[in-house]
Each structure stands twice: as C-alpha cells, then as structure tokens.
Structure 1
Amino acid sequence: MTAHNPSLTLVAGGAGFIGSHLCAELLARGEHVVCLDNLQTARPSNLRVLESHPNFTFIEGDIVNPLPGEIVALSDRFTRIYNLACAASPPQYQADPEHTMLTCVVGTDHLLRLSESSGARFLLTSTSEVYGDPEVHPQREGYRGFVNCTGPRACYDEGKRAAEAMTFDFARMGRAAVRVARIFNTYGPHMHPDDGRVVSNLICQILAGRKVTIYGDGNQTRSFCYVSDMVDGLIRLMESDADGLEPTNLGNPEERTLNELLDEILAVIGGPVAIDYLPLPVDDPRRRRPDIARAQEQLGWQPRVPLAEGLARTCAWFAEEIGAPDFENRLKVAAE
C-alpha cells in the first residue's frame, strides 16, 4: 500500500453521540477516518470540528440500504470497521421500530460483508439492553438476559441480540475477524438534548428552569460511563487479540440510583428543583451494572473519569448548546 492510498477506518454512525467522539479520537491517533451516517438521530454539528481535518471524510448513507458507491469504491482500503449505527435511546428507536430492527440486522449484515470482502476487522457496538430487566446482578457476559421479546423495546433489544448472533456466525465461519462490545449507559458532550436519556433529560430540564421528570420512584439504578472512557474501551477492544467469539462489557461498575444522579447534577448546577414522578416505562430495567472483569483482564481497561467531573463537563457543554447563559460561566469554571 502506497503513502498515497493510506488504510482507512470506517465508522458507521460516526455523527452520533459516541461515534463523533470516536472519530475525533481516531483522527487524533493519526488514522484516516470515513464517517458513514444517515443523520436520522445524529446532529451534523457533532462533526463541525472534524470537517476541515484532512484525514476525515463524511459520507451520508443508511446501512439498511446497499452501501453507497463511495464506500464500495474504498473497500480495499478499509482495515477497521466500527458499527455504531443505530438509534440508541428509547424515544428514538421506538419512533421507527421497523427501521431500528433493520438497522441492527440488515445493516450489520451489509457491514459484515464489507468486512469480509475488504479483510477489515469488524467491531459491533451492542448494548447492555441485551440483558433486558436483569435477574442476575451485576451482569456478566455469560448471562443470557431477561428480555421481553414482544414489548415496545424489543426492536432494539432483540435487534442487537440478532446483530450479535450474525456477527459471531461470521466469526465462526471464518468470514470476518470480529469484536463485540456491550455498551452500558454512557454520557457526555454531543448527547442530543431531546434524546430522552436520563442524563440529558435532567440536565436540560434543570438548565431550562423546568420541573424535573423522574420515572418510577428514582431508586432504579444505572452505571454511568463518561464518553472518553467508552471510546478508549472501544479502541482497546478493536486493537486487542480477543478471539472474536465472546462479547465484552464496557461500562462503569459504579452503580447509582437516579435520585443520586439528580443530586450529583444539582451539586454542579445548583437547585432546588421541583420533581415530577411519573410511571416507569414498560420493561424499563430496575438495576443495571456491568461486571467488567473481562475488559480489565483482556484490555487493561476501566473507567477513569469520576462522575462529578464528567457531569461538570457535560453540564457546561449543554449550557452552551441550549443557551443557558446564567449557568455557562460558572459551569465552565467547574469543568476546568
């Protein structure tokens, strides 16, 4: 391969929340990055700082459809393919459940076939949602989950389970070298203000001076991983010598209730706030915490950004993004 035709890394879903951070980190490491995104749930502003980078190319396209000709033309240059293409918050993936399922299954098939033809290593971002509302705690990779396969979240939960099955079948048949990451709750700048996830919901509601929404009694738990830690884990997994026949949990094993999360955010922004407790959504998990022993042992990875520090950075970004001038200066100081 000549210097005029450097190897390429494809990031499908690269304009999304985690994807845009991944693109930026890969570019910082000297890679040539091609971002493929349909911009259905992503925001083009996530890529604004990358557009002028000489090693960055954006191609608009939907992996449910045959891959764009520009991707096919570059196929012999791809050495890494990251599949982050799928709406990831319940309001977004439930808005068009058919498309969500097809993205997971048909889209993953298209990218796996590209991996097969190009010889590129393939990484699927799966999800902690494959464990459903877990009856085993914390969740280890060997746990098979407790998923409602007919409920309103099934398009995503079962879609990702099917995507995993297909990815591992490609590996077993020797058709592709694969990695599968099961991502737990991740937060940070570039989240969509209206994506319906708890961190963005609470921050935006408080910054806007609105009543805060807590679903259930707020005692359900999640484990929140800052986006830079997640990106580090994904790259480590891609570059690891994993055999490709087992998934790897990536997430923060520090478990917090939603009420505790609210207190942490208020410690950054200030309060008090009025709280509106609403019914828990159907099939919403009561507890969620990853066992990350495999990632620690095989990747030497664990989260490093404390929740208070990550929330300060995230609040500062949202204050600027949604225009909350009363908070911006104080938040920027807190984030430094």
Structure 2
Amino acid sequence: MKKVLITGAAGFLGSHLCDRFIREGFCVIGMDNLITGDLKNIEHLFRLKEFEFYHHDVTKFVHVPGNLDYILHFASPASPIDYLKIPIKTLKVGALGTHNLLGLAKEKKSRILVASTSEVYGDPLVHPQNEDYYGNVSPVGPRGVYDEAKRFLEAITMAYHRSHGLETRIARIFNTYGPRMRLNDGRVVPAFIGQALRGENLTIFGDGLQTRSFCYVDDQVEGIYRLLMSDYVYPVNIGNPDEITIKEFAEEIIKLTDTEQKIIYKPLPKDDPLQRQPDITRAKEILGWEPKVSRKEGMKKTLEYFKSLSEEDLYKSAHKDFTSYL
C-alpha cells in the first residue's frame, strides 16, 4: 500500500483529505499539534489499521519511519481569528514547517503538495483572480502574517523543485465550507450559521457588497487529489467561481435556516479583500476539474451538520469578535 503523510490532519480540510486517501487505498499518517485541529474530526479513523496519528508540531524536526510516497502539507491556522491570535505560530508553520516537510520529501523522495490560499492575492486589483496575478498584499498589515506565510510557502516550494528536482504541487485554495468547520473560527459560513441557530443577528463587516466564492469540501478535496496526481508544478486555483456578495449570502442563510434574524453592520477590518473569485481555467484544462456541488446543495448538508451539534457545543462555540471573513 502507498503511504501518505497529511499535516493538519485534525483540521477541517485535513480530516476530509484523510478520509479520501483511506478510501483510495492508502496508508495514511495524520499529523497535527491540535492548536486549531480537533481529534473529533478523525476519531472515526483510529480503529483502522491503515491510519496512524502523530501528535506533533511541524515547525520542529519531522521524522516518519519507512517509505513515504506523498506528503500533503495542510498544517496552518486558516481563519482570521486564529492567525490574528497566534501570528508568530502562523508565520512559523508557513516558513519553518514548510521547510521541514520539504526536507522530509527530499529525504524520502516523496511528492509533496502544499496548501496555499487565495489570500496570496491580498485585496486584488484583478478580477477574477488567475494564477499569473502577483497580488496586492500588505506585508505589515494584520493579515500579512497569513498572506506572507503562504507566499513564502510557495516560494520555498518552487526553490526546492528547481534546486533539488523535488516533485512539488501548489494548491491555491479559495473559500471552502462543509461539515467539520469550527463555529468559532470567524469564517463567514460557520459565523452566519452559528449566529442564525443561536437566534443572534447576523454580523456583516463593511457594506456587505464585498464578494466571496464558496466551494463545497467534497469538490475541494477532488481538486486537490487530482492536482497531486498530475504532473503540473505551478500554482493552481482550486475553488468555486460562483461569486456572491456577503449581504446576499447572509440573506440566503436566513432563508435556509428559516429564522428571522436581522443583519447588522460593523466597520470593515483593515486589508479585508473586497473581491474574491477564482479563475479556474487552469484547473479545468490541466486537471479536468470543476466544482459539481451547488451552493444550495452544499449549504443544506453543512446546515444539517451544524444542527447535529449539541446545544452546549453551539453556545460554547459562540464568538463575539468576528474580526473578518475569508
């Protein structure tokens, strides 16, 4: 059986990737320091002989015994509340963590896919965003710790590819949603659903005319899997180009949850991007990939997951300081 290491395995996307590779017949090693991950996301895998879990921080030396065919580097805080609360750890996992895993891939002769983000584009001056756009990022702004960590991640990955012939892949991930998201992480989908289910007004930062494009997690995982198995080494946008304003999305959530909450407005945080829409031409042409799950279908599944949480979890996860939305 082929073996894959997935860092950030107890997180939202990482846990779904573990599921996918188990289904594909791989031995999966999940690695997470559990700063933002949750073992509940992968506890169903512990009974499987094909799954191992290492509680480890990838900013420290990473060792995995035996052969290793693939590495997927998904360890990183990925929400505004997280990376504004732990900015230095965010920078270190993008820099030191990526360096350690690239070194491991070189030692094991593994193919490595790193998780970049649409945030490398910053507050874009090009719309929609394609992979040739260099971005509009403030390195000293509050979001710079995440944006620049991911930009460095891309740069060092390409350096290892060019200098050492390492097999590398770079996924630029746009807004993704689905079951296992944390209600308290400040991202727009769990923020709105959590507020609606708790009977709170929905909070919009700015005028609500800023846009996002939401990709259901199953589609995202499929795109990542195809990219890993492809021969393409440059960044590829993986996201859903179905763009919507935050105000329209809030109205959709109110209708979906059959609640009567109002929308309230607060000032837009510094450097919050006003537009976010992927150009997925490259993914279509190279990977034969495009999203299949509509927002209506995906949001219904996501709502069912959040409704299944206990009342204690629902209120425990309430966070009144949603700093921004990805």
Q: Aligned equivalents of 2:179 and 2:209: distance in 1?
A: 25
Partner of 1:59: 54
Of 69, 72, 85, the residue aligned with 2:64 is 72
Q: Aligned equivalents of 2:296 and 2:307: distance in 1?
A: 16
Contact 1:115 1:176 in 2 (8 A): yes
The question of 1:157 aligning with 2:152 is answered no
The question of 1:112 aligning with 2:141 is answered no
| 1:302 counterpart SS class | coil
The question of 1:291 aligning with 2:279 is answered yes
Deviation at 1:266, TM superposition (A): 2.2
Contact 2:32 2:56 in 1 (8 A): yes
Q: Aligned equivalents of 1:174 and 1:18: distance in 2?
A: 29
Q: Aligned equivalents of 2:139 and 2:26: distance in 1?
A: 39
| 1:304 counterpart SS class | coil
- Larger relative contact order (C-alpha < 8 A, sep ≥ 6)? 2
Q: How is 1:189-200 mapped onto 2 (pairs within 5 angstroms)?
A: 189-200=179-190
AA matched with 1:33: V
Partner of 1:30: 25
| 1:273 counterpart SS class | coil
AA matched with 1:319: K
AA matched with 1:20: S
Q: Aligned equivalents of 1:7 and 1:205: distance in 2?
A: 43
AA matched with 2:9: G
Output one character per residue of 1:100-154: Cα deviation in whole Å (capped at 9) or x when no partner.
Answer: 0010000000000000000110000100000000000000100000001100111
Deviation at 1:175, TM superposition (A): 4.0
| 1:159 counterpart SS class | helix
**Percent of counterpart pairs with the same letter?**
45
Q: Aligned equivalents of 1:323 and 1:7: distance in 2?
A: 41
The question of 1:303 aligning with 2:291 is answered yes
Of 183, 195, 205, the residue aligned with 1:205 is 195
Output one character per residue of 1:197-237: Cα deviation in whole Å (capped at 9) or x when no partner.
Answer: 00000000000111211111111000000000000000000
Q: How is 1:138-157 mapped onto 2 (pairs within 5 angstroms)?
A: 138-157=128-147
Q: Aligned equivalents of 1:106 and 1:289: distance in 2?
A: 30
Contact 2:202 2:250 in 1 (8 A): no
Partner of 2:320: none
Q: Aligned equivalents of 1:134 and 1:116: distance in 2?
A: 34
Output one character per residue of 1:263-307: Cα deviation in whole Å (capped at 9) or x when no partner.
Answer: 222232112212221111110000000000000000000000000
The question of 1:21 aligning with 2:16 is answered yes
Gaps in structure 1 of 5+ consecutive residues: 1-5, 325-336
Contact 2:199 2:259 in 1 (8 A): no
Contact 1:264 1:308 in 2 (8 A): no
The question of 1:173 aligning with 2:163 is answered yes
Partner of 2:315: none
Deviation at 1:314, TM superposition (A): 0.5
Of 119, 122, 127, the residue aligned with 2:112 is 122
Q: Aligned equivalents of 1:205 and 1:261: distance in 2?
A: 14
Deviation at 1:322, TM superposition (A): 4.2
User: Does 275-284 or 118-127 show the bigger shift?
Assistant: 275-284
Q: Aligned equivalents of 1:28 and 1:263: distance in 2?
A: 37
Partner of 2:81: 91
Q: Aligned equivalents of 1:200 and 1:109: distance in 2?
A: 32
Q: Aligned equivalents of 1:37 and 1:271: distance in 2?
A: 37
Partner of 1:332: none
Contact 1:221 1:255 in 2 (8 A): yes
Partner of 2:261: 273
Deviation at 1:321, TM superposition (A): 1.7
Q: How many residues align?
A: 313
Contact 2:250 2:263 in 1 (8 A): no
Deviation at 1:51, TM superposition (A): 1.4
| 2:57 counterpart SS class | coil
Partner of 1:313: 301
Q: Aligned equivalents of 1:21 and 1:229: distance in 2?
A: 11
Q: Aligned equivalents of 1:18 and 1:290: distance in 2?
A: 19
The question of 1:241 aligning with 2:231 is answered yes
Partner of 1:258: 246
Q: CA RMSD in A?
A: 1.3
